Amino acid sequence: MRAEHFDAAARGELHAVVHDVLPLELAAEAHRRMDLGTVFGRIVLTPGQA
């Protein structure tokens, strides 16, 4: 089954579900949301503004 998933990903058939995009400074908030179970998908953390 795992090989089938890797093959599907390589073909571009699988897509991640992104729940939210937050700055890295809010990593603790992202963890709180995940711990509460209010997140469906992933939270993406981005680097702060330079």
Domain segments of the chain as ranges: 16-50
Q: What's this model's pTM, rounded to 2 decimal places?
A: 0.67
What is the rounded CA–CA span in Å between residue 47 and residue 50?
9
Could you tell me how many residues make up the chain? 50
pLDDT at 1: 81
- Per-residue tens of pLDDT for the chain, all 50 residues: 889 999 998 999 988 899 999 999 999 999 999 999 999 999 999 997 64
Q: 40, 19 in Cβ contact below 8 A?
A: yes
**Kindly report the CA angle at 34 between 14 and 30, in degrees rounded to 5?**
95
- Residue 26 CA to residue 12 CA, distance in Å, equals 30
Looking at residue 49, its pLDDT comes to 63
